[in-house]
Amino acid sequence: MELAPILVTLKLASITTAILLILGTPLAWWLSQTRNRFKTVLESVVALPLVLPPTVLGFYLLMALSPNGFVGGMWSYISDSPLSFSFTGLVIGSVIYSMPFVVQPLQASFEMVGKPIQQAAYSLGANRLDTFKNVVLPLSMRGFLVAITLGFAHTVGEFGVVLMIGGNIPEVTQVLSIVIYDHVEVLEYQQAHAYSAGLLVFSFVVLFITYSLNKKLMVRL
Residues in touch with other proteins (CB under 8 A)? 116-117, 119-127, 130, 134-135, 138-139, 220-221
Q: How far is the CB of 139 from other proteins (least distance, A)?
A: 6
Choice between 196 and 214, CB closer to other proteins: 214
Phi, psi angle pair for 187, to nearest 5°: 60, 30
Single-letter amino acid code for the residue at 214: N
Choice between 13 and 113, CB closer to other proteins: 113
Q: How far is the CB of 28 from other proteins (least distance, A)?
A: 19
Choice between 3 and 218, CB closer to other proteins: 218
Choice between 90 and 146, CB closer to other proteins: 146
Q: How far is the CB of 36 from other proteins (least distance, A)?
A: 12
Choice between 136 and 192, CB closer to other proteins: 136
Q: How far is the CB of 117 from other proteins (least distance, A)?
A: 6
Q: How far is the CB of 107 from other proteins (least distance, A)?
A: 19
